[in-house]
């Protein structure tokens, strides 16, 4: 037998189960429940979410970030939140002008949220402008998809009491050998000027969507959007390289379509992982992460569409056809390094 209680806040009603609060539903402000009241299809009607509070609340018990809908209901954001017409989206938008899988809000780094259109036909609008590539959200930003208008909200930093030291959660930072894959759209500034904005939005959005799907289906993690590219990673160490190789093969097939043209660089190195594991997000840091970003700049200058570091080539040489590109220096790194095309 469930025992339910209501907790009211400035932004709506929190409906919890007993004192353990196993789930939270966000309902429209002003909803009143009495003993025996039933609300069939509440979550479907309001497009609300049932989530673990540990995944959406900060240490003060409030959501770290949320979407406020035009009906005053709110949806707390996890590491990734999908929006679209299909019922399996976290935010379901019932509108014929909305694609089944329309857009996604992706959490990365410490507290960044990025809006990504997934190649929808009618577009996603951020503060009145159509999204052509992943855009970072700021507090109060308006998002419009079809007839649905939403607002992105971000909890502000709370000052520590005078004379006291604030208690912070100690982050679980660990080191691990990882494959780092950086993809970047070639000539993005030129394309912005030559391709019609609507076509640019659709092509770029579909590219991000396709890349994300094939990376995750092959055991990788798309860690960070970079405006006109992304950073993904796979476990290195003793892990089987077959999923990575399959992903590279599929990405190279995607390159042949040239919609849009993009570049790939691959590196194997020791990175630090950690950040906010309770939200499903891993932050990557360390010299090897900086190294792969420098590699991408070098690949652009060498006009190489697929380039791998010496460490990566040594691991995959028996499984991946590579050609030497000679030794090159990288800014902020001492010495010269061998690179290979694949």
Model pLDDT for residues 219-232, shown as the tens digit of each residue: 999 988 988 899 99
Asked if residue 46 lies in contact with residue 71, where contact means CB atoms within 8 angstroms, the answer is yes
Cα torsion at 199, 131, 74, 41 (round to 10°)?
10
DSSP sequence for 165-209:
PPP-PPP--EEEEEEEEEEEETTHHHHHHHS-HHHHHHHHHHHHH
Asked if pLDDT for residue 93 goes beyond 50, the answer is yes
How is residue 88 written in tokens?
């399996």
Model pLDDT for residues 253-284, shown as the tens digit of each residue: 999 999 899 999 999 999 988 754 333 456 78
Model pLDDT for residues 234-253, shown as the tens digit of each residue: 999 777 899 999 999 999 99
Model pLDDT for residues 52-65, shown as the tens digit of each residue: 333 445 545 567 89
Asked if pLDDT for residue 48 goes beyond 70, the answer is no
Strand 336-341 relative to strand 306-309, pairing? antiparallel
Strand partners, 283: 274
User: What pLDDT, on a 0 to 100 scale, did the predictor assign at position 192?
Assistant: 63
* All structural domains of the chain with their residue ranges: 65-154, 174-341
User: Do the domains 65-154 and 174-341 sit in the same CATH topology, yes or no?
Assistant: no
Asked if residue 234 lies in contact with residue 219, where contact means CB atoms within 8 angstroms, the answer is yes
User: What pLDDT, on a 0 to 100 scale, did the predictor assign at position 275?
Assistant: 54
User: What pLDDT, on a 0 to 100 scale, did the predictor assign at position 280?
Assistant: 42
CATH superfamily for 174-341 is: Nucleotide cyclase, GGDEF domain (3.30.70.1230)
User: What pLDDT, on a 0 to 100 scale, did the predictor assign at position 83?
Assistant: 97
User: What pLDDT, on a 0 to 100 scale, did the predictor assign at position 50?
Assistant: 36
Token pair 């993809």: residue: 183
Any idea what DSSP says for residue 57? B
Model pLDDT for residues 294-323, shown as the tens digit of each residue: 999 999 999 999 999 999 999 998 899 999
Residue 72 CB partners (closer than 8 Å, separation 6+)? 11, 12, 28, 29
Closest CA to 289 of 275, 307, 276, 271: 271
Model pLDDT for residues 170-215, shown as the tens digit of each residue: 555 778 999 999 999 998 767 667 767 777 888 889 999 999 999 9
The secondary structure element, H or E, covering residue 198 is: helix 197-217
Model pLDDT for residues 120-166, shown as the tens digit of each residue: 989 999 998 889 889 999 999 999 999 999 999 988 733 334 334 33
User: What pLDDT, on a 0 to 100 scale, did the predictor assign at position 19?
Assistant: 33
Q: 65-154 — its CATH code?
A: 2.60.200.20
In the structure, what pLDDT confidence band is assigned to residue 89 with cuts at 50, 70 and 90? Answer: very high
């Amino acid at each position: 037998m469930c025992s339910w209680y209501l907790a009211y806040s400035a932004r709506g009603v929190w409906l919890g189960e007993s004192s353990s609060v196993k789930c939270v539903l966000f309902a429209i402000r002003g909803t009143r429940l009495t003993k025996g009241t039933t609300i069939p299809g509440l979550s479907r009607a309001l497009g609300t979410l049932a989530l673990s509070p540990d995944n959406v609340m900060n240490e003060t018990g409030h959501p770290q970030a949320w979407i406020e809908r035009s009906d005053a209901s709110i949806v707390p954001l996890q590491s990734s939140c999908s929006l679209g017409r299909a019922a399996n989206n976290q935010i379901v938008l019932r509108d014929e002008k909305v694609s089944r899988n329309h857009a996604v809000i992706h959490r990365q780094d410490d507290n960044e949220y990025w809006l990504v259109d997934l190649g929808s036909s009618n577009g996603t609008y951020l503060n009145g402008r159509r999204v052509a590539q992943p855009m970072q959200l700021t507090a109060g930003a308006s998002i419009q998809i079809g007839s649905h208008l939403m607002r992105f909200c971000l909890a502000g930093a709370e000052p520590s009491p005078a004379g006291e030291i604030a208690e912070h959660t100690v982050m679980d930072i660990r080191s691990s050998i990882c494959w780092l894959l950086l993809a970047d759209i070639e000539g993005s500034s030129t394309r912005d000027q030559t391709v019609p904005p609507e076509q640019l939005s659709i092509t770029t959005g579909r590219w991000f969507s396709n890349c994300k799907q094939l990376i995750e289906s092959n055991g990788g993690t798309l860690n960070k959007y970079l405006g006109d590219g992304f950073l993904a990673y796979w476990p290195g160490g003793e892990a089987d390289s077959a999923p990575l190789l399959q992903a590279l093969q599929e990405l190279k097939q995607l390159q042949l379509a040239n919609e849009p043209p993009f570049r790939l660089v691959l590196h194997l190195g020791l990175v630090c992982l950690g950040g906010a594991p309770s939200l499903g997000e891993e932050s990557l840091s360390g010299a090897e992460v900086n190294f792969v970003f420098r590699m991408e700049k070098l690949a652009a200058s060498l006009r190489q569409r697929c380039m791998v570091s010496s460490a990566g080539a040594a691991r995959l040489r028996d499984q991946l056809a590579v050609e030497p590109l000679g030794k090159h220096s990288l800014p902020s790194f001492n010495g010269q390094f061998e690179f290979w095309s694949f």
